[in-house]
Amino acid sequence: MENIALIDSFSEFKDDKMIDRVTLMAILEDVFRSALKRKFGSDDNFDIIINPDKGDLEIWRNRVVVADGFSEDDNEEIELSEARKIEPDFEIGEDVSEEVKLIDLGRRAILALRQNLISKIQEHDNTNIYKHFKDLVGTIYTAEVHHIRHKAIILLDDDENEIILPKENQVPSDFFRKGENVRGIIESVELKGNKPVIILSRTSPEFLEKLFEQEIPEVFDGLITVKKVVRIPGEKAKVAVDSYDERIDPVGACVGMKGARIHGIVRELGNENIDVINYTENPQLLITRALSPARVSSVKINEETKRAEVMLKPEEVSKAIGRGGQNIRLAGRLTGYEIDVFREGVEEDVELSEFSDEIEAWVIAEFAKVGLDTARSILDKDVEDIVKRTDLEEETVLDVVRILKEEFED
């Protein structure tokens, strides 16, 4: 048969792991019917018999015998004289089945048919890959570094599927070499131009949550529940955990003896500082725990505005706020409250923001980053110490101190 190119195509795809026999036959028939439509205008009167195991097929065209000179459609009708060349005893009105050879379609048509077949198989495989990874969204996945680009790392899994780890989804301290295995969470899967685009993330809170499930048996078994995770990737994270079994200490179980259990997770995330706290439905207590390692004196909540006023001793304020405001920011995200910190025992004080007409906003923000958000908190500190703790020039700090002193003198 004149179907060498077709046999080659069958041999390429019949062992494709992504496609079953029935689907392959359906795709092949669809491809050939498209070719027949282009050649003959219609495929309604054609029978296609396919044997994908042997790479063989037969195409039969069915036509009705009509009298010579009365054929109105050469595709569906055949004149008597032509029919009798096939079989001498044909009569008018009978059906004639005639095999169509591939060569009859023309060389270009055969090449186009093969290309269409490759495209259809690839489209089918891409759809299967898309569905497979769509079901894996939110789960941890491991793949190998194949190529490192400026804005992303291209990974390949064991089945040669391409997975993208964008720069913004990498922990700041991440550094990978070609051939290294990378763990992350499947963040999203999209079809772009029939090609699945699989995005991995190492910065999402869900990745940290799944690491807890993977590394801590009690979380995996459901004895401990991870209620909420908030992160500043590579810097700091807070994880609220709970247990319905009073005999289990959820924080102790997650951290382990001398931090042994959580150490692997911390190392995976580039030494990210992870605070594990006991979850509670009591918002005041949850806020108190979330501001750890600071010791909170009291918490006053306004449910309408979702704000919380937290009172602390002066020496605890910097702990509550944390470096660059990380601790208080994460505590707010964990609890769902906007947290305002107040110093205990300070009779007369003024929020630094009240001086916005005299002090520039960026300067106020720099002070706030290190917990200096009121007039007294700045005046009680040594200028030299403030300069060391902030990115502010000494002249700027002295100018702010002057403004604040004038206010209190008045």
pLDDT 10s digits, 332-347: 999 999 998 887 765 5
User: What was the pLDDT predicted at 12?
Assistant: 58
Angle in degrees, CA 82, 84, 85, rounded to 5: 65
283's enclosing H/E stretch is helix 283-290
Residue with tokens 């690839």: 122
DSSP 217-278: HHHHTTSEEEEEEEEETTTEEEEEEEES-TT--HHHHHH-GGGHHHHHHHHHTTS-EEEEEE
Contact 201/211 with Cβ under 8 angstroms?
A: no
- Strands, DSSP E only, in 12-101? 46-51, 56-66, 77-79, 95-99
The count of domains in the chain is 4
Q: Which of 279, 305, 320 is the last residue of a domain?
A: 279
> Is residue 24 located within the same domain as residue 123?
yes
User: What was the pLDDT predicted at 31?
Assistant: 80
User: Which residues lie across from 312 on neighbouring strands?
Assistant: 296, 343
Burial class (CB in 10 A: 0-12, 13-18, 19+), 339: buried
Residue with tokens 């015998």: 65
> Is residue 106 located within the same domain as residue 218?
no
Backbone angles phi, psi at 18, to 5 degrees: -85, -5
Asked whether residue 16 carries a pLDDT value surpassing 70, the answer given is no
Alpha helices in 57-200 (DSSP H): 80-86, 107-134
CATH number of the domain enclosing 106: 3.30.1480.10
Asked whether residue 112 carries a pLDDT value surpassing 60, the answer given is yes
> Is residue 172 located within the same domain as residue 120?
no
Q: To the nearest whole number, what is the mean pLDDT of the chain?
A: 86
Residue 80 lies in a domain: yes
Angle in degrees, CA 314, 282, 341, rounded to 5: 20
Cα(211)–Cα(207) distance, integer angstroms = 6
Q: Given the DSSP bridges, would you call strands 296-302 and 307-312 parallel, antiparallel or unpaired?
A: antiparallel
Q: Give me the mean pLDDT over the 132-148 stretch.
A: 95
N-term to C-term CA, the chain: 105
Residue 189 lies in a domain: yes
User: What was the pLDDT predicted at 381?
Assistant: 83
Task: Tell if the pTM clears 0.75, that is, is over it.
Answer: no
CA nearest 91: which of 78, 80, 105, 100?
Answer: 80
Contact 187/200 with Cβ under 8 angstroms?
A: yes
CA nearest 212: which of 223, 201, 226?
Answer: 226
231-260 tens-digit pLDDT: 999 999 999 999 988 889 999 999 988 888
Distances (CA, A) of 132 to 121, 125, 137, 156, 298: 16, 10, 9, 15, 51
Residue 338 lies in a domain: no
Give the pLDDT band of residue 122 (cuts 50, 70, 90): confident
CATH number of the domain enclosing 151: 2.40.50.140
> Is residue 141 located within the same domain as residue 122?
no
> Is residue 160 located within the same domain as residue 45?
no
CATH number of the domain enclosing 235: 3.30.300.20
Domain enclosing residue 173, as ranges = 136-204
Give the pLDDT band of residue 348 (cuts 50, 70, 90): low
User: What was the pLDDT predicted at 2?
Assistant: 46
> Is residue 18 located within the same domain as residue 117?
yes
Cα(330)–Cα(290) distance, integer angstroms = 8
Residue 343 lies in a domain: no
Looking at the chain, how many residues does it have?
A: 410
